[in-house]
Amino acid sequence: MANEKTGCQIPESVNYHFTRQCNYKCGFCFHTAKTSHVLSVEDAKRGLKMLRDSGMQKINFSGGEPFLHKRGKFLGELAKYCKEDLSTPSVSIISNGSLITEKWMQEFGQYVDILGISCDSFDENINEKIGRHARGKNHLETMRKVRTWCLEYGIMFKINSVINAYNVNEDMSENIKELDPIRWKVFQCKKREGENYGEGALRQVEKFLISDDQFNDFLERHADVPQIVPEYSEMMVQSYFIVDEYFRFIDNGANTTSQSILDIGVEAAIKDSGFVEKKYLDRGGRYDWSKKPVCADKDLSW
């Protein structure tokens, strides 16, 4: 969708990876800790306002692990700013969940529409092998605790899973139905040069990769899960507006970045985003993403 006056692509839904730092070590990660840079909260707010003024309707905060920087205070302040000052229709977060506290939910949960937790297996041993794990924490217990808080604080709950060689034969149907997320995004494990394979990469994704046929088998096994939203590795390319820690658009097709929005503005930077609207729509990028009331009598006995 383009602005009728300027002809500029409207950044309707934006993923802001404001930090690359993470307390997990997922072997297939394609946004790795190549820098420790994080913008000041003032500059981050300035960039978010520029995006909102250009038509942004949904902001998704990601990383790295977004709750790691100053233990969630930075994230909470940005979520509050997007809701209170910018009146952004949807604020969402993708996290591994390990650093989320009820105190944070009490203070900032009202500014969040969707909270997604990344979980690749319902076998904790497999999560550990993948690297979806932090010492002293059980990832599955953490996710269930966050799920309970989402119900208590009126936040829509989502699950993201990367389907790879370690979990491709697993049947997650009953666990997903029990947790009842609004969406279950399942991604075919993908590679990105310089991030998880190739020269200068901090991760080596080769042992995690699966074929389209293997991914299809996984999808068929979970065909009766109504919340499933599959994404083949090719579907992810150029179907997201991704902004990195310097507020640059990432073209994950050409593996390039724009100049910073803060320096040249959204209209100039977005030309180098590589974004293709049809791919965004084809992967189901547009959906009902604003907060809904949560039933108080929802069953929490997992």
pLDDT tens digits, the chain, 302 residues: what are they? 665 555 568 999 999 999 989 999 988 887 766 788 999 999 999 999 999 999 999 999 998 999 999 999 999 999 999 999 999 999 999 999 999 999 999 999 999 999 999 999 999 999 999 999 888 889 999 999 999 999 999 999 999 999 999 999 999 999 999 999 999 999 999 887 677 677 776 777 889 999 999 999 999 999 999 999 999 988 888 999 999 999 999 998 878 899 999 999 999 999 999 999 999 999 989 899 998 544 444 444 43
CB crowding 96-135: b at 16 or more within 10 Å, else e: bbbbbeeebbeebbebbbbbbbbbbbbeeebbeebbbbbe
**CA 129 → CA 99, 184, 278, distances in Å?**
20, 22, 36
Place of tokens 């985003």: 273
Instruction: Give the domain ranges of the chain.
Output: 13-282
Distance CA 255, CA 237 (A): 10
Clarify whether 22 is annotated catalytic. Answer: yes
Among residues 26, 82, 150, 189, the one annotated as catalytic is 26
Fold of 13-282: TIM Barrel (3.20.20)
Of the candidates 141, 157, 148, 149, which has an alpha carbon nearest to the alpha carbon of residue 299? 148
Of the candidates 287, 198, 283, which has an alpha carbon nearest to the alpha carbon of residue 234? 283
Burial of 73 (0-12, 13-18, 19+ CB in 10 A): middle
End-to-end CA distance of the chain: 42
Among residues 8, 29, 119, 150, the one annotated as catalytic is 29
Tell me the pTM: 0.91
Among residues 22, 82, 150, 189, the one annotated as catalytic is 22
Q: Which amino acid is at 246?
A: Y
